[in-house]
Amino acid sequence: MGDKSVLVIGGGGREHSLCIELSNSPLVAEVHCCPGNAGTRQIATNHNVSVSDIKSIVSLAKRLDVDLVVVGPEGPLCQGLADDLSKLEIPCFGPTSKLANLEGSKLYAKEIMSKVGVPTASYHILSEGSDIDLALDEFSDNPWVVKRDVLAGGKGVVVTSDRSEAKDFIEQSITSDGKVLLEQFLPGEEASMLVVMDGSGFVCLPASQDHKRAYDGDNGPNTGGMGAYCPAPVVTLEVKDKVIKTIIQPMHDYLSSLSTPYRGVLYVGLMITESGVPNVVEFNVRFGDPECQITLPLIKSDVYEILHSASTDKLSSLVVEFYAKHSLTVVLAAEGYPSNPVKGRIINGLTEEELTHAWINHAGTSLNDNGEIISTGGRVLSCSATGDSLEEAAKRAYQLLETIALDGSHYRTDIGHRAL
């Protein structure tokens, strides 16, 4: 067994997945997680520290004398966690607050894309006194895409064919944030590419596809993600080459040239046109959730080594290998999710038994006073699996899901439908 210790920040399915991979690394002796969940508790030491309490996280990292901090969510990065850890020379997987703006500010992301020539939708910035109707007229051939310029926890974007809905959202956003983006609608199919990068190089992980709508057939309200699979066939080798050439390489050229380069994972949200041309829809400065849960298990190389190298500008010295397998995860959501999730219900049927090729990623779970696992969030857990084909992975994930009982819960039955 190795002697490294790692602190993972966050308490969702993504962080459980990071804890699983890190605790499986022969280099790692200890995994800590704050605040964690009932799943991370089985393989890591949970610490009752909130992800927004940067000061306490830094003290914890110092006290535990960890070799690496891996940041799950964007919030602490935007608040400057990586900046504070770097002052103490503690390696941090996740960018500085300035670069976290690639997710925190849609306008900053647009400015960088325009500076380095990355393909993305054209846009207007609207503020007090702007002619909103004129701008709406310009993009009236397609649905309108309105984006707030703040971190809005997945509620910052409205895509609508209803002009008055678009106009209302523009006006409300100007009132609350001072400005808003109105963006050209991009038709096509979405995919996510997670790119681990540092000052020395980058590694593209296999592309995946999330399912953001709550119900089957991509209906219902937007969610954090109801399931995902990997690799996504829409990203053919040809498309991947274009993504690297037109998006990743120019972004990396810029991000690695800065005095403090980007260190972490850049989540590139893509819209791929029918003719295979990729455009950037969004950047996130973290692993996607649930994309993380099905991407990390396809990495054959040591995950600790990859994350630590990317935190210390040594990525280019690694050769990262992947399994030629498929993976899929299905999220079990609480009754009422996404608008008003019911929490505090007991989850039955969670097996401790080791299953071949299928496992549970805990998300909104914790233990009650009787030691029973209860739901504490909207996305409660997800069932994940790998297989030699996507069909096989889907079958295994759904079989596992059917053994779990949570009153009122719901899940999508069509994860992977675009590829299956």
Site of interaction with ligand GLY (CB under 6 A): 210, 224-225, 284, 288-289, 291
100-to-263, 296, 312 alpha-carbon distances in Å: 10, 22, 18
Nearest 5 degrees, angle CA 393-CA 397-CA 401? 170
Q: Find the shortest distance in angstroms from Cβ 329 to ligand GLY.
A: 11
> Which lies closer to ligand GLY via its Cβ, residue 51 or residue 374?
51
- In the complex with ligand AMP, the residue whose CB is nearer, 54 or 146, is 146
Shortest distance, position 211 Cβ to ligand GLY, whole Å:
9
**Quick one: what does residue 291 bind among ligand GLY, ligand AMP, none, with the CB cut-off 5 to 8 Å set by partner type?**
ligand GLY
Q: Tokens 């109707």 appear where? A: 133
Q: How far is the CB of 218 from ligand AMP (least distance, A)?
A: 10
Instruction: HSE, CB side, 13 Å, CA atoms: give it for residue 24.
Output: 13
157 binds, among ligand AMP, ligand GLY, none (CB under 5 to 8 A by kind): ligand AMP
Q: Terminus-to-terminus CA distance in the chain, angstroms?
A: 40
Residue 288 contacts which entry, ligand GLY, ligand AMP, none (Cβ below 5-8 A, type-dependent): ligand GLY
DSSP code at position 208:
B
* In the complex, least distance from residue 137 CB atom to ligand AMP, rounded to whole angstroms: 17
**Eight-state DSSP code of residue 188:** S
Q: Are 378 and 341 in contact (CB under 8 A)?
A: yes
In the list ligand GLY, ligand AMP, none, the entry touching 185 (Cβ below 5 to 8 angstroms by class) is ligand AMP
Binding site for ligand AMP (CB under 6 A): 121, 145, 147, 157, 159, 183, 185-186, 190, 212, 269, 281-282
Closer residue to ligand GLY in complex, CB, 223/309: 223
When CB distances are held under 5 to 8 angstroms depending on the partner's kind, the choice from ligand AMP, ligand GLY, none that residue 296 binds is: none
Task: Provide the 8-state DSSP code for 209.
Answer: E
Would you list the DSSP string of 86-155? HHTT--EES--HHHHHHHH-HHHHHHHHHHHT--B--EEEEETT--HHHHHHHTTTS-EEEEESS--TT-
Beta-strand ranges (E) seen in 149-198 are: 157-160, 179-183, 189-197
List 45's β-bridge partners, or say none. 32
> Least distance in Å: CB of 416 to ligand GLY?
15
For ligand GLY, the closer CB: 211 or 252: 211
CB 329 within 8 A of CB 227: yes
C-beta closer to ligand GLY: residue 10 or 225: 225
79 is in the binding site of which of ligand AMP, ligand GLY, none (Cβ under 5 to 8 A by kind)?
Answer: none
Residue 225's binding partner among ligand GLY, ligand AMP, none (Cβ under 5 to 8 angstroms by kind) is ligand GLY
